[in-house]
Amino acid sequence: MPTINLTIDGKKVQAETGQTVLQAARAAGISIPVLCDHPALPPEGACRICLVEVEKQRALQPACTFPATEGMVVFTRSPRVMAARKFSLELLVSDHPLDCMTCDATGNCLLQDLAYEYGVTGDRFKGKQHNYPVTDPNPFIQVDRNKCILCRRCVRACQFVNGVEAISVFYRGFNAYIGFGADSTMQDSPCEFCGSCVAVCPTAALWPKMSIGKGRAWQTRTVDTICSYCGVGCKLTLYVRDNEIVRVEGAWDGPANHGWTCVKGRFGYDYVHHPDRLLKPRVRRYLLDGKKKSRKGAAWEWVETDWDTALDITARKLAEARQASGPDSIGVLASAKCLNEENYLMNKLARQVIGTNNIDHCARLCHSSTVAGLAISFGSGAMSNSIEDVTEQAKAFFVIGSNTTEQHPVIGMRIRQAVRQRGAKLIVADPRRIDLCDFAMLHLRQKPGTDIALLNGLMYIILEKGWEDKTFIAERTEGFEDFKAVVMQYPPDRVSQITGVPVEQLHQAAEIIGTTRPMAVLWAMGITQHTTGVYNVMTLANLQMLTGNMGIPGGGVNPLRGQNNVQGACDMGGLPNVYPAYQPVTSEEARKKFEAAWGTPLSPDAGRTVTELIPDILEGKTRALYILGEDPVMSDPDTNHIRKCLEQVDFLVLQEIFPSETEPYADVLLPGVSFAEKSGTFTNTERRVQMVRKAVEPPGEARPDWEIIRDLAVRMLAGRTLNPDAPYAGWNYASTGDIMDEINALAPSYAGITHERLERGESLQWPCTGPEHPGTPILHTQKFTRGLGKFAPIEHIPPAELPDKEYPLVLSTGRVLYHWHGGQMSRRAKGLLEIYPQPLIEISQEDAEKIGLNGTKRVRVCSRRGSIEAKAFVTDRVPPGMVYANFHFPEASANVLTIAALDPVSKIPEYKVCAVKIEPVR
């Protein structure tokens, strides 16, 4: 950038060409007040508060839009400027309530600050004042138009940041006001309650309802941490007063979110303070009485107890099971909601203390097929690129099986920004008309479970047209010819027949995918949760190798991970086949390394997955379970069967923050803490390790999970001898930092990721192999982990359970924007529950008519495994022949219906396809 020289307030200043006067002044440390300007939004030039005097210009000029030029002389505080600013402020205050005494924004209000600085009282102009009712009924955002200064920051945020354009200005002049949708309530508008408008509002015109009366800026302290919902890893700032989180904002320096959040991140935090929180350890009475297990009567009553008692009982019962049936009779479920450090300890507890590789967690249910599939194709299985380069640089997006705006909302927003602001091309492939389709050039509506055929068909056309990247194929891959032979079996006609996608659309999509570079593929559960999950993923890997989109910014394979720390839980060895950093338990070298580190012999056999461990209870292969922060009753397929299994387990320890749906089956309940009550790290979907910081004290006697695991391990190890020379045999951790030191030593891809570096503000993505290593934003740039990328010939295989006469519809399952998985957190967030209070079953108009269902009635959905009843939501989001249900509500969870048909390699269940029938509830 060429530099230009200008003078601001007599000071020689340098700026870059294209910078505004405001940017130049800020860079030089000269402050110019603003109201409508916001660094994260395009400038508006409307409030006229940033007016400055520019030599040779008759009128005062707005610094926020006026370009800095060579030799320019600017005065930012001349008498004329100060008078003009004061004039505009007098006007604004003349139509603004002077209720600063009770206003929540006091101390955090740009208008108030400027009125103070410029001595503005609002007395100068007495005249008409607006008196708008403050009545918007939504649960999240208070809309007080009387405090609005028409800066239109919210309008721009909704347009440029979120992309739904729910906010507009209605009428004009003095009568202009901010309104929502077709000038109705926020709830009746396309608003998604991401709260970006609240984040940028300079006054209290838009204010979080949950924060009203909870404390002013100076009464709170702030803690920067990471969101506990999805895998995007938004950096949040928690405002805390008297040990209560009173407000949440996105942190502007968050690498994944740049200050933006979704509704759950910004408004879904109150579960932390919910009265249902577990406050004291509980054990079943039979355990205290030293009797045999009985699930009936007084023996099965919960008794609150102290930590020593609970931990002693737990250690004793687990030791007994290990003694009686061997270490492999115990299963350990780590938690994708917990810290890296805690998952590392769970891995160590299972392998070192118990002596089994039977450790798994919910990654099995979401992206185990991704991890397995990419490992086969490339040698390692994680999102290859970063949110930043994908959303800022991809010229085309191919989103398949990801309802991005609802499941990874901030990435969804950033895709919408890419489409809207820089014209990126978007193709969505999804059986459902998800919201992102409104932004797509093309929506391919394939039949559920036909992704391989669809992708092969697209690759057929790409090959036929010669759009493949021949250089990349020749230099970076192997297996191309075998792969090609299979793909050539998928001409458009056949593919159209299998998938239901019109031939013409196949050609259109293939052209965009084949000729636009860089092109990023994004996927989630729609690809992974199939009996062909691994093959689906490998087919996407084929596509990105074929088009040469691997290892480049804006391209790559981008599985969007579900839970806040599901990436980390995998990285930390929360899987039955690998130690931390994916060192295989079946590799002798790796085993020796960990045996030397932990000072004890380790099992050489891969453990069992969660989808095996629980069903194995019925066969007596699993005797005891230690579950950390998971809720298999809600999250695993075929709920009725899961319940039956859990009833039979000898001993179940559940470490939780709420009495979940799994709680009735637990023998011991250990109260852990939420993300806001402990410090450590989460790893987001793009492999970025970020600091989580304690904001409030845990409620009651709840304890950080790593402390509980540590104390349990210490008890179980009592009396056992470990190799005294082993450096990491002990469990003497005083903090999660101590645990991270051990991870640095044993997990090569985390070797350089220390708490110290993260606290210094470094942002690190693994692999980060040493203290000087800068981290790796993009994988596979020079070569693949396995050397050459492997093309695999993959044929279409139909789903396990297809519709038939008796069960004529396909059920697909998933989540909605306002809830989270089993719903233990989101159903305890007041606003989220208010806006989405009950399960809804999506049904097409055609099917609704067929069964004689009137739009508002309830519907019963039955599969071979169970049935649920819920309110029907008749919509074109699902095609005829398909219904869609979520698993957020125990009263009608989709998983009562789903089938436990597993992918043979990754053991992921086929949540996305099973056969059901529907009938109206009379």
Partner 1 sequence: MNIAERSLPPAIEDPRERAMLLAALYLAQEQNGWLTPEAIRRVARRLKLSEGQVRSTASFYTMFRLEPRGRYHIQVCEGLSCYLVDGAETIIEHVARKLKIRPGETTPDGRFSLEIVQCLAACDMAPALKVNDELYGNMSLAEIDALIERLAQS
Partner 2 sequence: MSTFEPVLTRNTRRPDSEKIATYLANGGYQATRMALKMQPDEIIEMVKRSGLRGRGGAGFPAGVKWGFMPKDAPQKIVAVNTDEGEPGTFKDREIVERDPHSVIEGVIIAAYAVGANRAYVYIRGEFFLGVKRWIKAIADAYEHGFLGKDILGSGFNLDMSVHRGAGAYICGEETAMLESLEGKPGNPRLKPPYPAQTGLFGLPTLVHNIETLACIPHIIERGAEWFAGIGTAESKGPKIFSVSGHVNRPGNYELPLGVSLREIIYEHAGGIRNGRALKAVIPGGASTPMLPADQIDVPMAFETLKAIGSELGTGAVIVMDESTCMVQAARRLTKFFAHESCGQCTPCRLGSTRLYEILDRIERGQGKKGDLELLLETVQGIDGTTFCPMGAALVNPARSAIRHFRDEFESHLANKRCPVNGR
Q: Output the smallest distance, CB 436 to partner 2, in A.
A: 25
CB 369 within 8 A of CB 533: yes
Q: Count the alpha carbons within 13 Å of 218 in the hemisphere toward its beta carbon.
A: 3
User: Which residue among 27, 28, 169, 905 contacts partner 2 (CB under 8 A)?
Assistant: 169
Question: Which partner in partner 2, partner 1, none is near 128 (CB below 5 to 8 A by kind)?
Answer: partner 2
CB of 153 to partner 2, least distance (A): 13
Which residue from 316, 306, 318 is spatially nearest to 282, judged by alpha carbons? Answer: 306
Contact present, 780 and 551 (Cβ < 8 Å): yes
Considering the complex, state which of residue 95 and residue 595 has its C-beta at the smaller distance from partner 2. 95
Contacts of 475 (CB under 8 A, 6+ apart): none
Whether 563 contacts 334, CB under 8 Å: no
Q: Which of 179, 518, 822, 823 binds partner 1 (CB under 8 A)?
A: 179
Q: Which of 466, 688, 654 is nearest to 571 (CA)?
A: 688
Outline where 289-408 has alpha helix (H): 307-325, 340-348, 363-366, 368-378, 387-393, 404-407
* Whole-Å CA distances, 343 to 11, 265, 669: 55, 23, 19
At 625, the amino acid letter reads L
Site string for partner 1, 78-117 (x = CB under 8 A): ----------------------------------------
8-47 residues in contact with partner 2 (CB under 8 A) are 43, 45-47
CB atoms within 10 A of CB 31: 11
Q: Closer to partner 2 at the Cβ: 88 or 377?
A: 88
Among 83, 298, 485, 745, indicate the residue that binds partner 2 (CB under 8 A).
83
Residue 95 interacts with partner 2 (CB under 8 A): yes or no: yes
165 binds partner 2 (CB under 8 A): no
Query: Choosing among partner 2, partner 1, none, which partner's interface includes residue 342 (Cβ < 5 to 8 Å by kind)?
Result: none
Please state whether beta strands 789-790 and 477-478 pair in parallel, antiparallel, or not at all (unpaired): parallel
The CB-of-873 to partner 2 minimum distance in angstroms stands at: 33
Binding map of partner 1 across residues 815-844, x = CB under 8 A, - = no contact = --------------------xx--------
Nearest CB to partner 1, comparing residues 156 and 796: 156
- Asked if residue 170 binds partner 1 (CB under 8 A), the reply is yes
Distance CA 749, CA 359 (A): 21
Q: Which is nearer to partner 1, 522 or 527 (CB)?
A: 522
189 to 166, 413, 460, 601: CA distances (angstroms): 6, 17, 42, 61
Q: 882 with 844: CB under 8 angstroms?
A: yes
- Could you say whether residue 511 binds partner 1 (CB under 8 A)? no
Nearer to partner 2, 84 or 230 (CB): 84
Of 67, 181, 730, 737, the one binding partner 1 by CB under 8 A:
181
Decide which of partner 2, partner 1, none touches 334; Cβ closer than 5 to 8 Å per partner kind. Answer: none
Instruction: Assess contact for 227 and 236: CB atoms under 8 A.
Output: yes
List CB contacts of 28: < 8 A, sequence separation 6 or more.
Answer: 8, 11, 13, 14
For partner 1, the closer of residues 535 and 818 by Cβ is 818
Q: Is 596 a binder of partner 1 (CB under 8 A)?
A: no
Residue 173 in the binding site for partner 2 (CB under 8 A): yes
Neighbouring C-alpha atoms within 13 Å toward the C-beta of 815: 27
Q: Going residue by residue from 367 to 406, which x/- string records binding to partner 1, judged by CB under 8 A? A: ----------------------------------------
Contact pick of 49, 458, 575, 624 for partner 2 (by CB under 8 A) = 49
Site string for partner 2, 61-80 (x = CB under 8 A): ----x-x-------------
Using the rule CB under 8 A, is 125 a contact of partner 1? no
Kindly state the tokens that stand for 715. 């008890």
Binding mask 851-880 for partner 1 (x = CB under 8 A): ----------------------xxxxx---
Going by DSSP bridges, is the β-strand pair 425-429/396-400 parallel, antiparallel, or unpaired? parallel
Calculate the alpha carbon distances from 286 to 114, 294, 322, 655, 669 in Å.
Answer: 67, 7, 20, 19, 14
Q: Which residues contact 687 (CB under 8 A, 6 or more apart)?
A: 382, 383, 567, 765, 766, 776
Three-state secondary-structure class, residue 328: helix
Secondary-structure breakdown of the chain: helix, strand, coil percentages, each rounded to the nearest 5: 35, 20, 45
Identity of the residue numbered 900: A
Q: Which of 171, 289, 291, 849 binds partner 1 (CB under 8 A)?
A: 171
DSSP per-residue letters across 559-605: E---BTTHHHHHHTT-BTTEEGGGEETT-HHHHHHHHHHHTS----S
Is 883 a binding residue for partner 2 by CB under 8 A? The answer is no
Question: Using alpha carbons only, how large is the chain's radius of gyration in Å?
Answer: 29
Give the residue with the Cβ less far from partner 2, 182 or 474.
182
CB of 67 to partner 2, least distance (A): 8
> Residue 312, interface with partner 2 (CB under 8 A)?
no
Closest among 657, 702, 688 to 824, alpha carbons compared: 657
Q: Residue 62 — φ and ψ, nearest 5°? A: -75, 125
Contacting range for partner 2; rule: CB under 8 A; set: 166-174, 543-551, 709-717, 846-854: 166-174
| Residue 888 in contact with partner 1, rule: CB under 8 A | no
Q: Is 434 in the site for partner 2 (CB under 8 A)?
A: no
Interface residue with partner 2 among 94, 106, 187, 508 (CB under 8 A) is 94
Stretch that binds partner 2, among 19-27, 55-63, 99-107, 509-517 (CB under 8 A): 55-63
Choices 38-46, 123-131, 439-447, 679-687; region in contact with partner 1 by CB under 8 A: 439-447
Choose the binding region for partner 2 from 164-172, 323-331, 532-540, 804-812 (rule: CB under 8 A).
Answer: 164-172
Cβ–Cβ under 8 Å, residues 867 and 640: no
- To partner 1, the closest distance from the beta carbon of 190 in angstroms equals 5
Question: CB under 5 to 8 A by kind: which of partner 1, partner 2, none does 882 bind?
Answer: none
Judged by beta carbon distances under 5 to 8 A according to partner kind, the member of partner 1, partner 2, none in contact with residue 877 is partner 1
With binding defined as CB under 8 A, does residue 459 bind partner 2?
no
CA distances from 73 to 13, 119, 321 (A): 10, 27, 81
Q: Answer yes or no whether residue 48 interacts with partner 2 by CB under 8 A.
A: yes
User: Whole-angstrom Cα distance, residue 247 to residue 603?
Assistant: 47
Q: Does 658 bind partner 1 (CB under 8 A)?
A: no
- Pairing of the two strands 330-333 and 624-628: parallel
Q: Which one of residues 172, 292, 760, 805 is an interface residue with partner 2 (CB under 8 A)?
A: 172
Q: Which is nearer to partner 1, 316 or 433 (CB)?
A: 433
In the complex with partner 2, the residue whose CB is nearer, 45 or 730, is 45
DSSP state of 104: T
Residue 309: other Cβ atoms inside 10 A = 16
Q: Does 420 bind partner 1 (CB under 8 A)?
A: yes
Binding positions for partner 2, 505-524, rule CB under 8 A: none
Applying the rule CB under 8 A, the residues between 121 and 140 that interact with partner 2 are 124-125, 127-128
φ/ψ of residue 787, rounded to 5: 105, -95
Tokens of 787: 């050397």
Tokens for 707?
Answer: 């402390």
What is the pairing mode between strands 519-523 and 396-400? Answer: parallel
**168 binds partner 1 per the rule CB under 8 A:** yes
No. of H helices and E strands in the chain?
Answer: 31, 37
The residues binding partner 1 (CB under 8 A) are 163-172, 179-183, 187-190, 416, 419-420, 426, 435, 438-441, 835-836, 873-877
The residues binding partner 2 (CB under 8 A) are 43, 45-49, 51, 58-60, 65, 67, 83-84, 87-88, 91-92, 94-95, 124-125, 127-128, 149-150, 169, 171-176
